[in-house]
Amino acid sequence: MTLACRDCGTLQDFRSLPAGSVASCAACGNTLSRSTGRSIGAGFALSLSVLCLYIVALSLPFLRASVLGLEQETRIGSIVPLLLDTRWVLVALGIGAFIVVFPVVRFALLTLVLGTLLGERRPEWLGRAFRWATSLDLWSMPDVLLIGFFVGYTRVAQRLTAEIGTGGWCFLAAAGLAMVAHATIDRQMVWNAIAPNRPSPRGEKVIACTTCDLAVPKSAEGDPCPRCGARLYARKPDSLTRTTALIVAGLVLYPIANIWPMSVVTRLGESEGRTILYGVTELVKEGMWPLAAIIFCTSIAIPLLKLLAIGWFLLATRFGWRRGLSVRTKLHRLIDGVGRWSNVDIMIIAVFAPLMQFGAIATVHFGIGAACFFAVVILTMLASLSFDTRLMWDAVEQRR
């Protein structure tokens, strides 16, 4: 069968893999396929479990807290109406999508696809359904919310009486199983089960689908992929222009996100803004070095490194730099995977801001820095998605 590396564009033919082996790209080292004992049956069981637990978690109390005789109870989606009340509409819709809508839709589609494959059926819509499920993987964030929950709960439990509700325990189980499901389900295995990869046509130019990696004749460019339905292009259209615009917008908002407060805490009528660096400093003073390191890396270091790294990729493509080509390709693969974890700080506020609404005694609200930071994270994620790493390899080839 023929597979195209989505990172460098190299086409490679190989036979079926022996059990426990991995096929890597000879040019850039990207993993193309693996046969490590993963099964569709195990993926289906995990996906169904996550879906059921998550729906239960959404419907039951998530956290309870009390201070001076006042009690507060929240659910996972409580941040959405709170943000709408304070006019942060876009942030509310984004967070609601990431922690409520997308996880449910993703695991519903995944359960449907894997269950259909187990029933040995191959309807026409199967590839499109799995394409949507894989696309939502990046934007579905129960795992990020899980880390935010642990960090926030550790801090809140020191200041007031907090209790995890039934919905919270269901969420913890669902988020843990979601990470196991992510590691268990091999996308290429599922794509092969939907429609097997085939040898590339001899004597004809070939392009690859950027979603399912299926190799098709170049004459099919602009048509839907026969396996997943995505539009076929030799390279992502306007990749450099769109990526540059997203990176410039991110660079403009990044300083604002770090200067302006992420949250505004009001105690007995006195308000205090708290920036990202303030939160890191407070954790260090309290001796919580691991938590401080997590927040510093996810909220300060990773967004900045993503902006600088993608800027480096754009310059390298523009000037056809050969040195460090493989390193740049691997770095893009890394930042594409870790960029979503920058939302940890946002998730901490999303979980605990609704819990800290005690009227005149104490309240917590999003600050303008949170909205700007949320925008920076989204912009860098979109920039990473829009950048086509194969253009770096093309630029080197053109300068030879």
Q: How does pLDDT run across 203-246, given as a tens digit for each residue?
A: 678 888 888 888 888 888 889 999 999 999 888 889 999 999 99
pLDDT range class, residue 88, cuts 50, 70, 90: confident
Q: Tell me: pLDDT of 37 over 60.
A: no
Average pLDDT over residues 282-293: 84
Residue 152 in any domain: the answer is no
What domain range is 338 assigned to? 237-400
Strand partners of residue 224: 231
Q: Residue 298 domain-assigned?
A: yes
Highest averaged pLDDT of the listed ranges 91-100, 177-186, 308-317, 367-376: 308-317
Computed over every residue of the chain, the mean pLDDT equals 85
CATH number at residue 382: 1.20.140
Question: Residue 360: what pLDDT?
Answer: 64
pLDDT in the model for residue 212: 86
For residue 364, what pLDDT is reported?
Answer: 76
347 vs 201, more confident: 347
Predicted model pTM: 0.88
- What's the CA gap between 209 and 234, in Å, rounded? 8
Average pLDDT of span 254-279: 83
Please give the residue that has the higher pLDDT: either 29 or 309.
309
DSSP notation for 32-44:
EEEESS--HHHHH
- DSSP SS3 for 269: coil
Write out pLDDT tens, residues 40-69.
899 999 999 999 999 999 989 888 877 766
Using CA atoms, how far apart are residues 286 and 8, in angstroms rounded to an integer?
Answer: 46
Residue 314 banded pLDDT, cuts 50, 70, 90: very high
- Tens-digit pLDDT profile for residues 326-384: 899 989 988 888 888 888 888 888 887 777 776 667 777 788 888 899 999 999 999 99
Residue 282 phi/psi, 5-degree rounding, is: -60, -40
Q: Which residue has the tokens 């693969």?
A: 333
Q: Phi-psi category of 52—alpha, beta or left, where left has phi over 0 and alpha has psi -120 to 50? A: alpha
In a domain, 364, yes or no: yes
Q: According to the model, what pLDDT value does residue 35 have?
A: 61
Q: Report the distance separating Cα 62 and Cα 323, nearest Å.
A: 51
Alpha carbons 337 and 380: distance in angstroms, whole number: 12
Give domain status of residue 123, yes or no.
no
Total domains in the fold of the chain: 1
Lowest mean pLDDT: which of 149-158, 185-194, 230-239? 149-158
Q: Are 151 and 348 in contact (CB under 8 A)?
A: yes
Angle separating helix axes 40-59 and 166-184, nearest 10 degrees: 160
Check residue 350 and give its pLDDT.
80
pLDDT per residue over 62-85, tens digit each? Answer: 888 777 667 778 888 777 777 777
Residue percentage of the chain with pLDDT more than 90:
34
Mean pLDDT of 89-94: 83
Determine contact, residues 107/44, Cβ cutoff 8 Å. no
Specify if 351 maps to a domain: yes
Judged against a pLDDT cut of 90, whether residue 117 lies above it is answered with yes
Instruction: Please check whether residue 245 lies inside any domain of the structure.
Output: yes
Kindly state whether residue 60 falls inside one of the protein's structural domains.
Answer: no
Q: Report the phi/psi class of residue 296: left, alpha or beta, with left for phi > 0 and alpha for psi in -120 to 50.
A: alpha
DSSP state of 248: H
| pLDDT, tens digit (0-9, with 9 covering 90-100), for 128-149 | 999 999 999 999 999 898 888 8
Any domain includes 158: no
